[in-house]
Amino acid sequence: MSAVSIKKTLNGEIQTGTRVTIQGWVRTRRDSKAGFSFISVHDGSCFDPIQVVAPAELVNYEDTVQKITSGCSVICTGTLVESQGRGQTFEIQATDVHVCGWVDDPDTYPIQPKQHSFEFLRDVAHLRPRTNTFGAVTRVRHVTATAIHRYFHEHDFFWINTPIITAADAEGAGDMFRVSTLDLANLPRTDTGAIDFSQDFFGRETFLTVSGQLNIEGYCLALSNVYTFGPTFRAENSNTTRHLAEFWMIEPEIAFADLDDLADLAEDFLKYVFKAVLEECPKDMAFFAQRIEPTAIARLEALIEAPFVRLEYAEAIEILKSSGQKFEFKPEWGLDLQTEHERYLTEKHFSAPVVVKNYPTEIKAFYMRIADDRKTVAALDVLAPGIGEIIGGSQREERLDVLYQRMAKQGMDAETYSWYLDLRRYGTVPHAGFGLGFERLITYITGMANIRDVIPYPRVPGRANF
């Protein structure tokens, strides 16, 4: 008999009276001297475990069933029945309980049927997926990723796998990890004493990507609507609840589009994804609302209904200035919004996600389209209550001469970016795109406070365990 997922045994898909085999890991075992044990088994297929009722008549009851502890892997066969007890609809009356793998030392098995701190669970990242919370996070993460691909597919976007290894050393998005096969203890040198990267694997200096944007623009100016969804690396020494050195980023890029088209896309996209998660993960979301963040479901529902607030950067500054709030950093036109400013806007003033558009030229990247008066560029940030910046994007500078000037002004080497300039030389069009941090999105959806708890094995400064 082939095994079925616990999800199927619990969702009514299988008729009661059917003989089934399930396989998974034990959460708890409770004995009843009335002649049976209750074994709570999960397999990750759904939030709830199934209760296996193991009668004392089983041949291995005393030497096996009664020795089962949390974490053992089991294969159980029996009849699916309506539960005679409270707390669950279905359960399995076992005729066979087989322990696949014992827990060597139950005394030190880290995952107990109790609340653990997330800090502790980070130290056992290989075992934490066995907990309620991380099972739920994992399923939500999967459903979110799937919804993202589905949204783009349904809207005629193509998924472009931009390279992870890149030679562009100044994409303007922070410090990069070096990729090299040179012998660190014995580096080849040029005549001038510099490291001779011509002897390196690629014959030049290379890094891990900090963004697929520049690469994807080429595909945008050919396939019109495209996106990346892949790993991204930042070697910044950021120690916060919302930064990772390795994370996943979604970057759509749309042709024949301006900043408002981009804001429309961001809003429609986020609403679609939130809706999908609420529909496909009701149990997991209910858990987050109950145990992690009380507003987890309510705020997503509210967000799906209401139109996003949109305002100019200049307006945002005015709101902050006349707010009467005491800020550590005074809001001033020309300065970037501080975390405290973003929080005020999203959490207090609007109590909603806010799209801020058209930032001062000086504080934004070279590729963003400059306004006629040169004071601002067509950039936008989507700010969400609780986490701040979730999306950052812009309309790209599509005019060759303007882009060239801006690069020169920033002392950038036009030669390195000649291929990027080609895109403006041959059939340029207005286009725009944004970057969305996947883990930040999961953080927002689940209400999990720390981004290290929504990725399987977090990489942060000073830590790359597992």
Partner RNA sequence: UCCCCGGUAGCUCAGUUGGUUAGAGCGGGUGACUGUUAAUCACUAGGUCGUUGGUUCGAGUCCAUCCCGGGGAGCCA
CB of 391 to RNA, least distance (A): 5
Taking phi over 0 as left and psi of -120 to 50 as alpha, with beta for the rest, 379 belongs to beta
Bridge partners, 41 (sequence order): 26, 50
Q: Tell me which residue of 382, 366, 430, 431 sits closest to 263, measured CA to CA.
A: 382
Distance separating alpha carbons of residues 365 and 377, to the nearest angstrom: 9
Which residue lies nearer to RNA by CB, 198 or 237? 237
Distance separating alpha carbons of residues 330 and 351, to the nearest angstrom: 21
Tell how far CA 277 is from the center of its chain: 13
Say if residues 296 and 289 touch (Cβ distance below 8 Å): yes
The contacts of residue 229 (CB under 8 Å, 6+ apart) are 145, 148, 149, 159, 248, 249, 250, 251, 438
Say if residues 26 and 69 touch (Cβ distance below 8 Å): yes
Distance separating alpha carbons of residues 383 and 315, to the nearest angstrom: 15
Distance separating alpha carbons of residues 45 and 135, to the nearest angstrom: 9
Q: CA torsion sign, 93 to 95 to 100 to 103?
A: positive
Say if residues 254 and 227 touch (Cβ distance below 8 Å): no
Which residue lies nearer to RNA by CB, 98 or 291? 291
Q: Tell me which residue of 70, 178, 89 sits closest to 127, measured CA to CA.
A: 70
